[in-house]
């Protein structure tokens, strides 16, 4: 195999997006296809696992074929297959996993298991070479974590949320404010127009690298409830701005501490909430203040996609992470 040209087929199906991608050498996106189910789950106010699984089966071969066509490649041109094995919705994960295992069997290609969060981290590799020691701020609907990397595929979790994930908190607060699903991005947009007039408590002011968002969520719910009781109308833009300020500040405080204490050179942001304007601005400022490189994944790689899985898969493969056909999905698993 030519060291300089390695094409990885990535497969992602951990939640409600069926995606295939071909990435060259862990850096260059050749083709990515994503079939999103967002419109299907809208009617239910959130992702329904069984419906998600059913749609992954429907989409799986269509998305694969489209991806190969877009890349103008055949399966024979692929060097290895990388798949999200977890964490995520087990029924959803299984579809991508079985597809990956079948392709590995049919074409005798190495099978590379990729942790979903490793994928989000490596989404940045598609735009910038990673430098170490690196701090990954992982913010999504299922995760809020600070991860230190000393080299490719060497992860150390510094801390994480003790309860809700930040994206989950965004969505729940959005729901209280009657913003339709998925409410997180709408909340972020509203926040740019508001003033931080509502007082909300800054969660978990301690010395750890951990986060807590359930208290903040409850505080917003109580505030909305109280205002309703008093027949006072909520200024949604101001509430969104007030909420976002506190949520972002709690991330920034812990990230600043990590940059200083862990001698970080490069900060990357990963996960769906990386699309948030409020968070992006605050982290950009933090980078200037601490004089470290900051990179954000482009918007198209913030949500779930297989390009990031293929990118991570390349470095996982280099680190010797290959699996046999007995690879199984895991709904939860530590990034290691």
Site map 152..171 versus another protein, x via CB under 8 A: --------------------
Least Å from the CB of residue 11 to another protein: 10
Radius of gyration, alpha carbons of the chain: 20
The reply to whether 53 sits near another protein by the rule CB under 8 A is yes
Q: Which of 5, 38, 65, 281 binds another protein (CB under 8 A)?
A: 65
The answer to whether residues 21 and 305 touch, using CB atoms and an 8 Å cutoff, is: yes
Q: Which of 5, 38, 42, 61 binds another protein (CB under 8 A)?
A: 61
Indicate the residue among 64 and 267 with the shorter CB distance to another protein: 64
Least Å from the CB of residue 68 to another protein: 9
Nearest CA to 161 out of 270, 247, 243, 262 is that of 247
Residue 171: count other Cβ atoms within 10 Å of its Cβ.
23
Least Å from the CB of residue 172 to another protein: 19
The reply to whether 218 sits near another protein by the rule CB under 8 A is no
Least Å from the CB of residue 36 to another protein: 18
Q: Which of 27, 28, 36, 57 binds another protein (CB under 8 A)?
A: 57
The reply to whether 142 sits near another protein by the rule CB under 8 A is no
- How many residues contact another protein, by CB under 8 A? 33
The reply to whether 328 sits near another protein by the rule CB under 8 A is yes
Whole-number Å distance between alpha carbons of 47 and 12: 16
Nearest CA to 137 out of 85, 246, 211 is that of 211
The reply to whether 319 sits near another protein by the rule CB under 8 A is no
Nearest CA to 59 out of 97, 13, 90 is that of 13
Residues of this chain, 72-111, that bind another protein according to CB under 8 A:
75, 91, 94-95, 97-99, 101-103, 105-107
| DSSP code per residue over 247-305 | HHHHHHHHHHHHHHHTT-SEEEEESGGGG-HHHHHHHHHHHHHHT-EEE---GGGTSS-
What are the distances in angstroms from CA 141 to CA 145, 168, 196? 12, 5, 24
What are the distances in angstroms from CA 106 to CA 10, 14, 63, 110, 151? 16, 23, 18, 11, 33
Least Å from the CB of residue 40 to another protein: 10
Whole-number Å distance between alpha carbons of 144 and 101: 30
Indicate the residue among 107 and 228 with the shorter CB distance to another protein: 107
The reply to whether 64 sits near another protein by the rule CB under 8 A is yes
C-alpha angle 190/193/198, rounded to 5°?
80
Least Å from the CB of residue 102 to another protein: 4
- Single out the segment in contact with another protein by CB under 8 A; choices: 54-62, 129-137, 148-156, 166-174: 54-62
The reply to whether 329 sits near another protein by the rule CB under 8 A is yes
Q: Which of 27, 54, 128, 265 binds another protein (CB under 8 A)?
A: 54
Residue 206: count other Cβ atoms within 10 Å of its Cβ.
9
Which positions lie near another protein, rule CB under 8 A?
43-44, 48, 50-51, 53-54, 57-58, 60-62, 64-65, 75, 91, 94-95, 97-99, 101-103, 105-107, 324-329
């Amino acid at each position: 195999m030519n060291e300089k040209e390695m094409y990885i087929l990535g497969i992602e199906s951990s939640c409600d997006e069926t995606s295939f991608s071909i990435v060259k050498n862990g850096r260059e996106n050749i083709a990515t296809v994503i079939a999103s189910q967002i419109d299907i789950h809208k009617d239910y106010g959130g992702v329904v696992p069984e419906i998600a699984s059913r749609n992954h089966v429907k989409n799986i071969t269509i998305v694969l074929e489209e991806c190969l066509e877009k890349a103008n490649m055949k399966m024979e041109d692929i060097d290895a297959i990388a798949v999200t094995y977890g964490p995520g919705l087990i029924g959803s994960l299984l579809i991508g996993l079985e597809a990956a295992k079948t392709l590995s069997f049919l074409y005798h290609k190495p099978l590379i298991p990729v942790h979903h969060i490793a994928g989000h981290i490596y989404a940045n590799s598609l735009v910038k070479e990673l430098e170490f020691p690196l701090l990954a701020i992982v913010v999504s609907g299922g995760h809020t974590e600070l991860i230190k990397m000393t080299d490719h595929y060497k992860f150390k979790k510094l801390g994480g949320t003790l309860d809700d994930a930040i994206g989950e908190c965004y969505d729940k607060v959005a729901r209280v404010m009657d913003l339709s699903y998925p409410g997180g991005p709408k909340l972020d947009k509203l926040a740019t127009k508001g003033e931080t007039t509502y007082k909300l408590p800054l969660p978990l002011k301690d010395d750890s690298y951990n986060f807590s968002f359930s208290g903040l969520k409850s505080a917003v719910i109580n505030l909305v409830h109280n205002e309703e009781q008093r027949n006072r109308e909520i200024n949604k833009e101001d509430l969104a701005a007030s909420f976002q300020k506190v949520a972002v500040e709690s991330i920034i405080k812990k990230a600043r501490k990590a940059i200083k204490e862990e001698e970080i050179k490069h900060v990357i942001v990963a996960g769906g909430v990386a699309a948030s304007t409020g968070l992006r601005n605050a982290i950009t400022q933090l980078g200037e203040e601490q004089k470290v490189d900051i990179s954000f994944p482009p918007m198209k790689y913030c949500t779930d996609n297989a390009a990031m899985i293929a990118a991570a898969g390349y470095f996982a493969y280099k680190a010797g992470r290959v699996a046999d056909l007995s690879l199984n999905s895991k709904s939860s698993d530590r990034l290691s």
